[in-house]
Amino acid sequence: MSSKLQQVRQSIDRLDREIVKLIDKRASLALDVAEIKNRAGNKGDDTVYYVPSREKEVIKNVTSANNILDGEAFKNIYTEIISACRNLEAPTKIAFLGPWATFTHQAAICNFGSTGYFIPVSNLSEVIAEVESNRADFGVVPIENSNEGSVSVTLDMLVETELKICAEVSLKIEQCFLVKDPKAKIVKVYSHPHALAQSRNWILRNYSDVELISVSSTAEAAKKVTEENFAAAVAPEVAAKVYDLYVLQKGIQESRENFTRFFVVGKVLAKLTGQDKTSLVFTIKDEVGALYSVLEIFNRSNVNLVKIESRPTKKKAWEYMFFVDFKGHIEEQNVVSMMKNLRRSCMFVKSLGSYPEA
């Protein structure tokens, strides 16, 4: 049996060397792409290094060819290959709502891969400012949680900025139990109050005598564990990677259907993929049937609205903006026609961006 095992391992080693050669070849082609784009200068979309539609196409092609590995695992592997090759073309600078090891950080890695220059900032307006000032190429911001609803600050900022949504990330909010030493006796557990509340039942079932200690963030909790020998943290999985901790258990939160949606914003206009969404905002006249008339425009255009909500304009009391998401891309013919009709019927209309659907 040992002889047969050795033969299989040798075959794996040969395949690994072949895989490395192919990845090297792919990286070399990425450098060729960079050279072509550099020669083109600043002429059009083909000079942009992060192209959401192209990366989605690549992921779709390779995952459809995969027959054995878990689909999500295979996607993660290839996201990292794309990330490393893209950063050979030009390092991608990504601003995100910090600190390190938060769910927003995890969403940024999920979209861009771990290769890149990540910039944690302290509030959402700073994310926008970093991209507007070209200190970052892209920003990642939370927009909506499946249990708690929309992030109103993000909605308001999207109205004011000239940046566009170019990608979206849907991230399952999964809390993990992290430790420095998996054999140590745990006497205290750190985390943000919300994360402790979400995971309290699991903790009490498995560690009934521990002290629960609230801190400012799950990232701060993970950092605390690196400094103590008998402590654990409730935090996202990315915190284990950032702070070199062990994941003793994943998914210890009570809710299994808790997702947060994030937007990637930048100066890139995402091209049509055939599986796109568009976000826009509009205001209407203060008259009977105004909202009905606007919604009828979407219906006549055969556009599938997937979300609508209102926010105060903050310019006049009891005046509202309506935010909508719909299936389709701003360049599709029926959407182009619809936008013309919307502008005739609304006081204000602004496209916030079209992007590949997560």
DSSP 140-208: EEEEEETTTEE-HHHHHHHHH-S-EEEEEEEEE---EEEES-TTSPP-EEEE-HHHHHHHHHHHHHH-T
Q: Which of 218, 260, 278, 283 is catalytic?
A: 260
E strand or H helix at 264, and its extent? strand 259-266
How far, in Å, CA of 65 to CA of 336, rounded? Answer: 35
Q: Map tokens 């900022």 to a residue.
A: 157
Indicate if the alpha-carbon torsion angle 176, 178, 182, 186 is positive or negative: negative
Please tell me the distance from the alpha carbon of residue 236 to that of residue 227, in angstroms, as a whole number: 18
Cα gap 227→206, rounded to integer Å: 23
Angle at 298 between CA 296 and CA 304, to 5 degrees: 125
Q: CB–CB of 53/273 below 8 Å?
A: yes
Instruction: Tell me the sheet residues that pair with 353.
Output: 279
Which residues, 6+ apart, have CB-to-CB distance to 102 below 8 Å? Answer: 96, 217, 218, 219, 236, 238
Cis amide bond preceding 99, omega within 30: yes
3-state DSSP: the chain helix, strand, coil percent, rounded to 5? 45, 25, 30
Assess whether 263 carries a catalytic annotation: no
278 as an active site residue: the answer is no
Token pair in block for residue 358: 């997560």
Given the residues 262, 282, 298, 323, the one annotated as active site: 262
Task: Report the alpha-carbon distance of residue 19 to residue 237 in Å, rounded.
Answer: 28
Give the residue numbers annotated as catalytic, written as ranges.
260, 262
